[in-house]
Amino acid sequence: MVKLQFLGSGDAFGSGGRFNTCFMVDGGGTRFLIDCGATSLVAFSQFDVDPNSIDMIMLSHLHGDHFGGVPFFLVQAHSSVNRQRPLTIAGPRTTEQRVMETLENLYPGASSRNWRFDLNFEEYDVEQDWTFGPVSLTPYQAAHSAGEGPALALRITVDGKILTYSGDGGWSDGLAKAAMGADLFIAECFFYDKNVDYHMSLETLRGHLDEIKPRRLILTHMDDDMLGRAEALEYETAHDGKIVDI
């Protein structure tokens, strides 16, 4: 059984008082995060999660509401919670550079410290398989832009289950490949019917579900308008703290 908890299910702007994107996955004898937005340490405290229990942080793209919590995670690990457990941070090209530049801007001198634990950065390429112990990943190009590093949709396999996270982005061939037949598809659904190139609307997503046929769909990263409609939607939605079994 694979378990996922939405520690943060919000957008970049705190709509509905929700935390930035951060999902925690337990499966295959490991615990990892999918994205770690700027508010993630607050979410850890809110939901009583021990940061030292996290083996790996997997990033979809390098916008602050998806990776901005990583520098705070590192500072806490080194200075506050006496982390001894190794930590892997994995993401698209330029992940190590962007994390360390952000860390240095927030805490001058921190990027050159000798860490008290083994810290490993890995970077994955579009449509190239990547593994971390029992976890395997194939990243696909998303219809979104986040600087030099590509924005990705993540197709993750653990314990024989396929979990797809759209990352941010509109509909694309890459997203279709990532989500095809997934046991759980977590889809960014920022808008209800406003169609833009770089974020998903429910109207657009609805038109493609018959193509990809996920076993379960959960909508996340919703703006205030979408949140106001959530209870009346025919689709399942995320909320902070929600736990699902895959």
What is the pLDDT at residue 47? 98
The span from the CA of 147 to the CA of 199, in Å, is 16
Over the stretch 203-246, which tens digit does the pLDDT of each residue have?
999 999 999 999 999 999 999 999 999 999 999 999 999 999 99
SS3 167: coil
Single pTM value for the model? 0.97
Over 90: is that where the pLDDT of 167 sits?
Answer: yes
Protein fold of 3-245? Metallo-beta-lactamase; Chain A (3.60.15)
Give every CB contact of residue 52 below 8 A, 6+ residues apart in sequence.
77, 81, 83, 84, 85
What is the pLDDT at residue 109? 93
